[in-house]
């Protein structure tokens, strides 16, 4: 279970998260929606421990473990995974090598032995099939020359390989065509399960038609302003964020 209480964080000296409280029970998928600049990506970076994001108050626990007291690698070993809004290219590091190294680092943290190249390739073949990631792509440097949609599929592949306890998907739907959206959503849905929580950050109801969330939260002005069931996403699509001080109101 992810328990965030009264979280405050600054970026570049500016307070972005202003007392954010959110609980995601194990086994549930929660969506976070909100206007541009509300702090959604900031929340995901703060949870992942990205440098430059300073926590000034509050607490974050994953299954009772204080995440904020851990280094980035320790957070990953504790079961946290972040699918980036803008996946980075890593020239010279083949995707296969990257994934195997990441998985073995996490297995080590769990006290499990390394997978050798053959065991890993067997696992990878199972995981890649459904996501439409080809063998040729796996040989390339991580995300090098991948289209926007291929990068997002590669993020979901990483999640499938690492099998995290908590997966945060930051706008994984952006840049996907209709077919890729289905492939990615099916990949994500296949990973839903009683031992895993997911936090899905999105601007669009269309993703939530495929990945139906247990709860939807509105993040605006650095806090969760409202929570509801899957129907809240439809309401937001119809009315926007004006009541939360969002862009439509600002533009009025
Ligand atoms: N390094 C930084 N220095 C100063 N301000 C920053 C920095 N990084 C982010 N911000 C500001 O923090 C605020 C929140 O940004 P964030 O990316 O978390 O919003 P978001 O809700 O994910 O937005 P979007 O929906 O547009 O992706 C924005 O006003 C942004 O300009």
Full-model pTM: 0.91
Q: Which of 20, 15, 6, 21 is nearest to 58 (CA)?
A: 6
Q: Which residues line ligand 1 (CB under 6 A)?
A: 11-12, 14, 16, 34, 36-42
Summarize pLDDT for 106-122 with one digit per residue, the tens.
Answer: 998 888 999 999 999 99
Task: For residue 28, give the 3-state DSSP assignment.
Answer: coil
Residue ID of nearest Cα to ligand 1 atom 6 = 11
Rounded to the nearest angstrom, the distance between the alpha carbon of 14 and the centre of ligand 1 is 10
If you average pLDDT over residues 78-94, what whole number do you get? 91
Q: Which CATH superfamily is domain 2-251 in?
A: P-loop containing nucleotide triphosphate hydrolases (3.40.50.300)
In this model, does residue 240 exceed pLDDT 80?
Answer: yes
Question: pLDDT value at position 251?
Answer: 40
Residue labelled with tokens 């590669």: 154
Say how far apart CA 140 and CA 147 lie, in whole Å: 13
Domain locations along the chain: 2-251
Question: pLDDT value at position 250?
Answer: 41
Q: Please write down the HEC assignment for all residues of 66-93.
A: EHHHCCHHHHHHCCEEEECCCCCCEEEE
In this model, does residue 159 exceed pLDDT 70?
Answer: yes
Q: Which of 11, 118, 17, 119 is nearest to 58 (CA)?
A: 17
Question: pLDDT value at position 230?
Answer: 93
Question: pLDDT value at position 246?
Answer: 55
Summary mean pLDDT of the chain: 91
Question: pLDDT value at position 252?
Answer: 37
Rounded to the nearest angstrom, the distance between the alpha carbon of 36 and the centre of ligand 1 is 8
In this model, does residue 99 exceed pLDDT 70?
Answer: yes
User: What is the ipTM score, two decimals?
Assistant: 0.95
Q: Which of 177, 167, 174 is nearest to 204 (CA)?
A: 174
Residue ID of nearest Cα to ligand 1 atom 13 = 37
């Amino acid at each position: 279970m992810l328990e965030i209480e009264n979280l405050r964080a600054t970026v570049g000296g500016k307070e972005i998260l202003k007392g954010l409280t959110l609980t995601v029970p194990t086994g549930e998928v929660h969506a976070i929606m909100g206007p541009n600049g509300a702090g959604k990506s900031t929340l995901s970076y703060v949870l992942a421990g990205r440098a430059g994001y300073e926590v000034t108050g509050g607490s974050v626990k994953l299954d009772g473990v204080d995440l904020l007291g851990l280094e980035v690698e320790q957070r990953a070993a504790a079961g946290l995974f972040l699918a980036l809004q803008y996946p980075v290219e890593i020239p010279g590091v083949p995707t296969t090598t990257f994934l195997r190294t990441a998985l073995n680092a996490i297995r080590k943290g769990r006290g499990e032995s390394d997978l050798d190249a053959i065991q890993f390739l067997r696992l990878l073949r199972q995981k890649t099939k459904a996501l439409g990631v080809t063998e040729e792509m796996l040989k390339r440097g991580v995300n090098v020359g991948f289209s926007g949609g291929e990068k997002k599929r590669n993020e979901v592949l990483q999640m499938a390989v690492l099998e995290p306890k908590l997966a945060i998907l930051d706008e994984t739907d952006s840049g996907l065509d209709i077919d890729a959206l289905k492939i990615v959503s099916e990949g994500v849905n296949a990973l839903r399960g009683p031992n895993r929580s997911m936090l899905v950050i999105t601007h669009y109801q269309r993703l939530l038609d495929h990945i139906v969330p247990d709860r939807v939260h509105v993040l605006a002005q650095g806090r969760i302003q409202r929570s509801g069931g899957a129907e809240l996403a439809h309401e937001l699509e119809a009315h926007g964020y004006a009541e939360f001080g969002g862009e439509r109101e600002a533009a009025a």
